[in-house]
Amino acid sequence: MKILVTGGAGYIGSITSAELIRAGHEVIVIDNLYQGHRAAVPPEAVFIEADLADRKTLSEIFAAYPGIDGIMHFASYTLVGESMEKPFLYLRDNLTNAANLLEAAIAAGVRRFILSSTANLFDRPERIPIAEHERIVPGSPYGESKFFIERTLHWMARIYGMRYACLRYFNACGDTPDRGEDHDPETHLIPIVLQVALGQRPHVTIFGDDYPTRDGTCVRDYIHVLDLASAHILAMEALDRLGERRYNLGNGQGFTVREVIETARKVTGHPIPAVVGPRRPGDPAVLVASSDTIRAELGWQPQYPDLETIIASAWEWHRTHPYGYDDK
């Protein structure tokens, strides 16, 4: 298939693009390089530096590349904490960019779409692990923006026959030897912990240790980025028979912040000093996924379910790319 990947220079988008190419698909990447890195885009992919806010350019791209079979939409503002400080970046830009993309795609006859959605739809889950039928309570403007895009897709299906899947990632992490996580500034737990191991930061701050969990710190379900990539590819290949789908994506096992730090100490062999700070606004205590639906419907199986293996893959990238991509 010929797949348009927005955000294909970013962390999850670039690794998924590389996996799509490995699986024999053609990839066209659109990225504005706001967080993405040109060097992360696989050399076999077409790269277009463009912003989804620019509707004219979007129509030109669809005209210049006819026959696009499907879209994977990664490009987005993605930080829970930032969305509590800059809500309009999320409630305006995330929504408008997705609408611009969908409008141009529909005009060009594209009817397959995979959305990067989020566990932040489930701020107060009644049941752990969290299944797709759990009540949606977005935890932040970020989660709300993704929920609204999910709803928009529903109407695109009703009105235009769009086939789509919303993949609600829990905590994406892990790297590959060629591509890895490199945000500026970095806010995610595992890369921060590894930067401490490399001596690039004095310590990691634990955001709160008074949660109702086994050691007082937040519990998250960490899923390897390659397992997310395989879910995207399986879903895209099956969309014609699926129609409309929403899948929660995680390993089904939760780890506390302290357990992640301890595992990183073991994997890296370096000391990782930690200090306890206040809670971060918008953080729920426990997020663990039930991925039974995607396992049953698509035969998806995580290949890297073990936290130590995930952190070891991230350590390999960070150790060999201590300054990330050298393009800044």
Ligand X SMILES: O=c1ccn([C@@H]2O[C@H](COP(=O)(O)OP(=O)(O)O[C@H]3O[C@H](CO)[C@@H](O)[C@H](O)[C@H]3O)[C@@H](O)[C@H]2O)c(=O)[nH]1
Residues that bind ligand X (CB under 6 A): 78-80, 118-120, 170-171, 187-189, 192, 204-207, 218, 220, 257, 280, 283, 287
Known active-site residue 142:
yes
Residue 97 or 171: the one with the smaller Cβ distance to ligand X is: 171
CB of 94 to ligand X, least distance (A): 11
CB of 325 to ligand X, least distance (A): 19
CB neighbour list of residue 281: distance below 8 Å, 6 or more residues apart: 81, 84
Angle at 290 between CA 249 and CA 174, to 5 degrees: 40
Residue 138 or 163: the one with the smaller Cβ distance to ligand X is: 138
Distance CA(8)–CA(30), nearest Å, equals 6
CB of 104 to ligand X, least distance (A): 25
CB of 80 to ligand X, least distance (A): 5
CB of 51 to ligand X, least distance (A): 20
Question: What burial class does residue 37 get, using C-beta atoms within 10 Å of its C-beta: 0-12 exposed, 13-18 middle, 19+ buried?
Answer: buried
Q: How far is CA 187 from CA 73, 184, 221, in A?
A: 22, 8, 17
CB of 123 to ligand X, least distance (A): 10
Residue 111 or 254: the one with the smaller Cβ distance to ligand X is: 254
- What the block records as the tokens of 68 is 């696009």
Distance CA(71)–CA(20), nearest Å, equals 12
Sign of CA dihedral 95, 101, 104, 106: negative
Q: How far is CA 175 from CA 8, 78, 88, 132, 299, in A?
A: 15, 18, 31, 27, 23
Sign of CA dihedral 249, 252, 255, 256: positive
Residue 189 or 235: the one with the smaller Cβ distance to ligand X is: 189
Residue 187 or 301: the one with the smaller Cβ distance to ligand X is: 187
**H helices then E strands: how many in the chain?**
11, 14
Active-site residue, from 11, 34, 77, 142: 142
- In the block, residue with structure tokens 């797709």: 132
Q: Which residue is nearest to ligand X (CB)?
A: 218
CB of 92 to ligand X, least distance (A): 18
Please say whether the beta carbons of 117 and 168 come within 8 A.
yes
Residue 70 or 125: the one with the smaller Cβ distance to ligand X is: 125
Residue 31 or 181: the one with the smaller Cβ distance to ligand X is: 181
Give the other-Cβ count within 10 Å of 26's Cβ. 17
- What the block records as the tokens of 317 is 């990238």
Distance CA(220)–CA(100), nearest Å, equals 33
- In the block, residue with structure tokens 């611009």: 100
Active site residues: 142
